[in-house]
Structure 1
């Protein structure tokens, strides 16, 4: 066995253990959801689309309804990790908030907050950065991928330290569960390393347990949803179906979706990825099965397929879009939701920072 083979085998074994633990966590949530606190979030770089909706939003709502305390970060500071400006960020933050609430997230049960509004969270970056090395950061797969995507332009310090910022996001509220895909596991491992090293270096500051838990992964089975051109759904490619689109705009976008020349519709993700992606979208929106939908369409061709997909998506999203329109028309309510979320996140972050100062012997509020 070569070194590469050994590394691959070790990686496979580690993933298998993570998958087994994730499955066990699902059972533990059913037994006692109060044991868990979830942290997840999005960068406000554009409007949310069907990839977000089916890939993450529905899972967040599912966890909320199961009684899991959830924190959702609108990562506005992370917008500038690889960009020269913030763009229409305020508009995008409130667009995300409207999408969240319209999809079913309840601000009474879920804390929604922004990076820039929680100073104590960001202050954790200083001690956390002392716990990791330059080489560890440069080896992080996401840092490498993001750097490659910049086309060779110099890496910003914020991009290099992106994994540590994510560790602060997770640990400030002592989240012990993070929904991730397998590609995001290195980021979660960085947070676990930071939590462990903080305990080893500074101790517990008189607490009964480490200041920070070592968060675990809840591996999500997010469906792979492609854009209308058969490539990864991305606003920059102009191939998205946004949650906030109306029915006519959705129909117009799907009318341009690529298929192929075979009129007989079959579900074959490898051989017919574009056709299969449309079947997956229809199945997700209708709680149907791709193979059965393909059989129903038969030799109706791409036109019939697009009609089925359009009707399924528009029918599924109709109540979401109606609620979203109500929310967008009430910016004062959206602002109140964000204020409450920011206030709660700040209170928790300040408490955590006080514990960090205590463990680091930097608490100067009491006499020696």
Structure 2
């Protein structure tokens, strides 16, 4: 079947981090399944997925906190899957910070250096530099109990960076912060990571966080990478229905292929027959079930008869309206009991405000090119 397959990542011999066929199994349960992946120097790569998908287990295997059942892990060309954590030269930041409550900020940051028997003068110099990097120099003598959540996170970052790791590992580090502070720390982390140039692997279940921070995103599902790519690729060209539904909001309309030629693919759906450009690769047959997907922000509410050439048109009854500040989300019920979402800027909503309210029937339209096709759960083309 000519469906877009999430490809196995090729292992780069000069990558800072590579996993080759890594599996983690607990008795009969496979938590991570034959994962192959590489992070290039200076990249910020996020493992994104729902709870239980294997992302934290993968990070733990990279750090050495969990063993690998099969497969290999290399950091800067050196095989490390048989080494203990302290021999891997990775820096780790946890969601709960894991700071020692009986130590001062300076002592927390210096802990890893002292365990490595670094000379005292060198420890002092590197701790001062690390605290300055995260703007915590004036807090060196305080205890963790005297710090805010954001300050604790900065100290945890300083402690991870002061050992000069080859790879920085972050396990949902902002999960305990409120939204405003989380957004501030996200910006600070990305700025810091880019200034230091350290290869970073970040675990999160927050799709917006991953899109904001990442050079590339690896979307995980049931212990495997479903798709890996740059944020725009993951969002605009999801390889599977799972990725399309997990990253952002999506509208799906189920249809049946009527015909498929070089001139287009005709599909019968609950909103009528639509014709879409046929992908260059592969073919489908008449009678085949197909899923048509379009993002809510690609759809616009139009006045009757205002549809442009090349657009798909539908009509539905407004079920709900939700104000989001810069935009408004409108939920429609289309023919065939299809629930359909539109996310429109409030500037554009103002142009049609007189025809949009709960219970009213409205027209919507979107470009044909904005619609993606999926067969058997995978994107066609």
TM-score, reference length from structure 2: 0.25
Structure with the larger helix share:
1
The structure whose residues are more often strand, as a share, is: 2
* Structure with bigger gyration radius: 2
